[in-house]
Homo-oligomer: A and B are copies of this chain.
């Protein structure tokens, strides 16, 4: 069957890797449609993302690659298909709305399985798009109880990634550890500047001339996970913090969507607390 797959390899670097991998492709008469590699010399790590096409059996290709790959290699042969995501949000609509519009236009490359929020503010917007919305109020219950309810809801859905579209609650280690490398957050500052609460107030107070946004994988350390994408906009003395917040929304939504686009197309490797984006 004529088909096209993405091959992702992440392993110790070694001589002959490219040769051996490309030999596997060559022996099966495959076309290399695109190929990107990176070697981290300091840590002796090799990363490769290759798109190959031809007439072949995916499982056979995968096992052939496994045979020649170094031990402990992370190897994936991915047949491109729409991924599934669950979105967590709070009250702000810009990041969520941007994803909804892309979804509606068929540009997201993912299905939105559900939107879960700790307030009902966004219910109307989400329902307009015929997407399931669940409100899990956090009031009067412990952080742990709240997360348990959210996780129960999440787990009722199939998903590849959990997208925090301005979800304004801090996740516990428990939550994070259940979904490793699966949670993508948009933080409203150019990290590592202005970690923590209300970065726009911090930025205003500090008198910066540039503000930004950061999309990153969520790990145990608050705002310290691997950065996927960042962008900035200029500001000046005329903007109060609420103006910065308002101006920042455009950067937030664009950066989140850019990061999602990378992740949903399998272009991102996590490498320690960094990313490699091909």
**Which residues of A come within 8 Å of B, CB atoms?**
15-20, 22-23, 25-26, 29-39, 41-42, 92-94, 97-98, 100-102, 104-105, 107, 125, 128-129, 190-194, 206-210, 212, 226-232, 234, 236-238, 240, 246, 249-250, 254, 257-258, 271-277
A83 to chain B, nearest CB (A): 18
Contact of A18 among B32, B191, B274 (CB under 8 A): B32
7 shortest interchain CB distances as A-B pairs:
A207-B274, A97-B101, A19-B26, A193-B193, A19-B22, A128-B128, A209-B230
Q: Output the nearest chain B residue to A249 by Cβ-Cβ distance.
A: B107
Q: A19 near B23 (CB under 8 angstroms)?
A: yes
| Cα of A31 to Cα of B17 in the assembled complex, Å | 10
Q: A208 near B237 (CB under 8 angstroms)?
A: no
A105 to chain B, nearest CB (A): 5
Residue pairs across A and B with Cβ atoms less than 8 A apart, 6 shown, are A15-B26, A22-B22, A94-B107, A97-B105, A101-B125, A206-B274
Further contacts, 20 of them, CB under 8 A, given A208-B227, A208-B230, A237-B274: A15-B26, A16-B26, A18-B18, A18-B22, A19-B19, A19-B22, A22-B22, A23-B23, A34-B37, A34-B38, A36-B37, A42-B240, A93-B101, A101-B101, A101-B125, A190-B190, A190-B210, A192-B194, A192-B208, A254-B254
What is the count of identical protomers in the complex?
4
A30 to chain B, nearest CB (A): 8
Q: B207 near A230 (CB under 8 angstroms)?
A: no
Contact of A232 among B105, B232, B254, B271 (CB under 8 A): B232
Contact of A93 among B26, B30, B105 (CB under 8 A): B105
| Cα of A210 to Cα of B213 in the assembled complex, Å | 11
Q: A101-B101, A104-B125 are in contact. Are A277 and B229 (CB under 8 A)?
A: no
Q: Which residues from chain B contact A227 at a C-beta distance below 8 Å?
A: 206-209
Q: B238 near A207 (CB under 8 angstroms)?
A: no
Q: Output the nearest chain B residue to A106 by Cβ-Cβ distance.
A: B93
Interface centre among A17, A209, A229 (most CB of B within 10 A): A209
